[in-house]
């Protein structure tokens, strides 16, 4: 495919890996592997599912070090520009994720603009705009991102990656789960995109049949040798046989690893246990790799304590970092504010207004109705205490009941909503998409969440209080028609009136 690169002004960055070792947990996926990805070429990395292709892509994209999946790597990954002889360890990469990782809270146009604003600076008068990229890839602009079809979402993901102006584009399983006809259409889409935007492209896939026609070079990730084996072009027609051998090798390797893990004896056995096993006949049937009940309980206890300490230290760390998290250190203030608005709508949107209004109505009814309903010797005490009772109810609602109960309910509802949002972003790889676009998720997610809570919680508590007050007024008016609403207004806020015209006494404490 690279025959016309020079005529088109093609890509100018190559990628080289040397002696790369990649581990996922205790499993070694690559062992001192080396490979070259020349500038302006389309390179396939093929291999059976589970061989570690997507993990390798995460390593190349710089996402593995931010992953919590226990991925580690050693070796050299170098980028070299054709106009600069000195190699570099970092260059701008665009990633088209297998799940597409579209920001569903933004429109298709906003998704592309986000990448444009965080990518390289475009020269004045550049024709590269969000509208042009979306039209070029046939992505509708008037449809919400969440309502796009699978093919449209994939084209949007490619448009966003191109908008970042990357020097290398990484595709993660672009034809996964597709039928042969649709897979061929995706291959043609990638080829068409490459023809218009000639970038060094690396495609991780197990679907070599659909993507080989657009490739310049093919590497096979061999699970047996844990290496990247380059397949010469003349052997591409026999790639199915190479793939089958790799699949068989993977099955053998997995069986050997399972056997070794089962046959491994318990680690760090006590000397007392060893001595007793030598001198006393054992009636217990021991299986390879099985720990004794005492050892298992002790190991579980140590694990639980370690997990508790790790969680506690993480919470303490986040508390210390809280003031720092509040600093709006966004690469783009406009997009930082967009995320704040998104989370503010999630935390304190119309559904939250209704939720807090119901809360306030319940609190106002309970405090007013039951205070007067169960007042001891009401016939004698109520005429003497009615004004003080109203003032006490107003004081308690404003200073104690509404703030405490509303805060608990806001934390429960908003915490669940925010956790669901972040969990969905992690599952859908949107957090990785943010990293790949140069936008740190802690800044674009956690900081806006904090601002949303700081801005939204007081507003929601105000709604709860005013609804509680209105409910109290209604209850008092119906239960004491002789006094009426004017009497309520005269005494309800008596203990809250301050010299400040805009808020009640005690607002500073709140």
Q: How many CB atoms lie within 10 A of CB 506?
A: 15
CA distance 192 to 198: 10
Is the Cα torsion angle 108, 114, 117, 121 positive or negative in sign? negative
Which residues lie closer than 8 Å to 360 by C-beta, 6 or more apart? 402, 406, 463, 464, 465, 466, 467, 468, 471
pLDDT, residue 352, reads: 95
- The label of the residue with tokens 């390879």 reads 288
Least Cα distance to 455 among 356, 349, 357 occurs for 349
Residue 108 corresponds to which tokens in the numbers above?
């298709």
Inter-residue contact 10 to 39 (CB < 8 Å): yes
The dihedral formed by the CA atoms of 72, 76, 77 and 79, expressed in degrees to the nearest 10: 160
Q: Report the alpha-carbon distance of residue 237 to residue 204 in Å, rounded.
A: 19
Provide φ and ψ at 46, rounded to 5°.
-110, 160
Domains of the chain in start order, with CATH, are 2-91+167-253 (3.40.50.300), 333-496 (no CATH)
Paired sense of beta strands 93-96 and 13-24, if any: unpaired
What does each C-alpha distance from 27 to 30, 172, 258, 260 come to in angstroms?
Answer: 9, 21, 11, 12
The one-character DSSP state at 203 is E
Would you give per-residue pLDDT tens digits along the chain (510 residues)?
544 433 334 447 899 999 999 998 888 899 999 999 999 999 999 988 888 889 999 999 989 877 766 888 999 999 988 776 666 666 789 999 999 999 999 999 999 999 999 986 665 556 678 999 999 999 999 999 999 998 999 999 999 999 998 999 999 999 887 888 888 999 999 999 999 989 999 999 988 888 999 999 999 998 888 899 999 999 888 888 877 777 676 666 655 555 555 555 544 444 444 444 444 444 444 444 455 565 677 778 888 888 888 888 878 887 787 788 788 889 999 999 999 999 999 999 999 999 999 999 999 999 999 998 888 877 777 777 899 999 999 999 999 999 999 999 999 999 999 999 999 999 999 999 999 999 999 999 999 999 999 999 999 999 999 999 999 999 999 999 989 899 999 999 888 887 666 677 767 665
Antiparallel, parallel or unpaired: β 168-172 and 93-96: parallel
Confirm if 17 and 75 have CB atoms less than 8 A apart.
yes
Residue 120 gets which letter from DSSP?
P
Bridging pattern class, strands 227-230 and 71-81? unpaired
**In the structure encoding, which two tokens stand for residue 275, read together?**
């001595």
- Cβ neighbors of 266 (< 8 A, separation 6 or more) are 289, 290, 291, 292, 295
Q: How far apart are CA 205 and CA 43, in angstroms?
A: 11
Are 193 and 154 in contact by the 8 Å Cβ rule? The answer is no
What CA–CA distance (Å, rounded) separates 349 from 61? 37
State residue 300's pLDDT score: 80
SS3 for 210?
helix
Reported in sequence order, the residue ranges of 421-466 that DSSP labels E, i.e. its strands, are: none
Q: What is the pLDDT of residue 174?
A: 92
Give the pLDDT of residue 94. Answer: 93
Burial environment of residue 218 by CB neighbours within 10 A (0 to 12, 13 to 18, 19 or more): buried
Q: Rg of the chain over CA atoms, in angstroms?
A: 32
CA separation, residue 183 to residues 94, 115, 196, 242 (Å) = 21, 26, 20, 21
**Number of other CB atoms surrounding residue 264 within 10 Å:** 10
Q: Which two tokens stand for residue 340?
A: 């704040």
Q: Report which secondary-structure segment, H or E, holds 81.
A: strand 71-81
Answer whether 90's CB lies under 8 Å from 15's CB.
no
As a dihedral over the C-alpha atoms of residue 12, residue 13, residue 14, residue 18, rounded to 10 degrees, the angle is 160
pLDDT at 116: 93
39 three-class SS: coil
The structure's pTM equals 0.80
Copy the structure tokens of residue 86.
Answer: 């000195």
For residues 28 and 206, what is the distance between their CA atoms, to the nearest angstrom? 20
User: Which letter does DSSP use for residue 109 in this model?
Assistant: H
- H-state helical runs in 264-332: 271-279, 293-325
pLDDT at 5: 38
């Amino acid at each position: 495919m690279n025959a016309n690169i020079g005529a088109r002004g093609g890509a100018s960055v190559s990628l080289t890996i040397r002696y790369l070792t990649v581990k996922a947990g205790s499993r070694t996926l690559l062992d001192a592997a080396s490979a070259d990805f020349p500038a302006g070429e389309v390179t396939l990395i093929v291999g059976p599912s589970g061989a570690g292709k997507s993990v390798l892509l995460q390593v190349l994209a710089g996402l593995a070090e931010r992953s919590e999946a226990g991925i580690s790597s050693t070796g050299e990954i170098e980028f070299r520009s054709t106009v600069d002889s000195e190699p570099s360890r970092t260059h701008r990469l665009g990633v088209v994720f297998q799940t597409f990782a579209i920001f569903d809270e933004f429109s298709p146009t906003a998704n592309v603009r986000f990448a444009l604003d965080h990518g390289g600076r475009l020269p004045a008068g550049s024709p590269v705009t969000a509208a042009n990229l979306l039209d070029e890839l046939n992505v509708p602009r008037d449809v919400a991102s969440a309502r796009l079809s699978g093919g449209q979402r994939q084209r949007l993901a490619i448009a966003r990656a191109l908008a970042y102006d990357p020097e290398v584009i990484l595709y993660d399983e672009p034809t996964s789960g597709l039928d042969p006809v649709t897979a061929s259409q995706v291959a043609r889409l990638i080829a068409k995109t490459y023809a218009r935007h000639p970038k060094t492209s690396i495609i991780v896939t197990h679907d070599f049949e659909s993507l080989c026609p657009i490739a310049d070079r093919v590497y096979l990730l061999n699970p047996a040798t844990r290496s990247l084996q380059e397949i010469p072009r003349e052997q591409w027609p026999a790639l199915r046989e190479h793939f089958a051998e790799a699949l068989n090798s993977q099955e053998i390797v997995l069986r050997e690893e399972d056997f070794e893990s089962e046959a491994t004896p318990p680690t760090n056995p006590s000397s007392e246990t060893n001595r007793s096993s030598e001198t006393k006949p054992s009636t217990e049937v021991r299986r390879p790799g099985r720990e004794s009940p005492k050892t298992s309980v002790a190991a579980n206890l140590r694990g639980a304590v370690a997990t508790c300490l790790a969680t506690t230290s993480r919470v303490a760390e986040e508390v210390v970092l809280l003031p720092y998290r509040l600093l709006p250190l966004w690469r783009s203030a406009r997009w930082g504010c967009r995320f704040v608005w998104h989370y503010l709508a999630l935390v304190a949107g119309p559904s939250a207004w209704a939720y807090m209004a119901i809360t306030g109505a319940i609190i106002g009814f309970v405090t007013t109705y039951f205070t007067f309903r169960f007042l001891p010797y009401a016939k004698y005490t109520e005429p003497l205490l009615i004004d003080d009772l109203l003032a006490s109810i107003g004081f308690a609602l404003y200073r104690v009941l509404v703030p405490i109960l509303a805060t608990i309910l806001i934390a429960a509802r908003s915490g669940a909503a925010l956790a669901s949002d972040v969990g969905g972003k992690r599952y859908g790889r949107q957090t990785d998409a943010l990293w790949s676009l140069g936008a740190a998720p802690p800044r674009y997610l956690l900081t806006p969440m904090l601002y949303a809570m700081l801005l939204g919680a007081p507003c929601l508590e105000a709604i709860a209080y005013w609804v509680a007050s209105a409910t109290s007024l209604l209850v008092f008016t119906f239960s004491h028609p002789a006094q009426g609403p004017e009497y309520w207004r005269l005494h309800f806020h008596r203990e809250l009136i301050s010299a400040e015209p805009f808020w009640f006494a005690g607002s500073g404490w709140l």
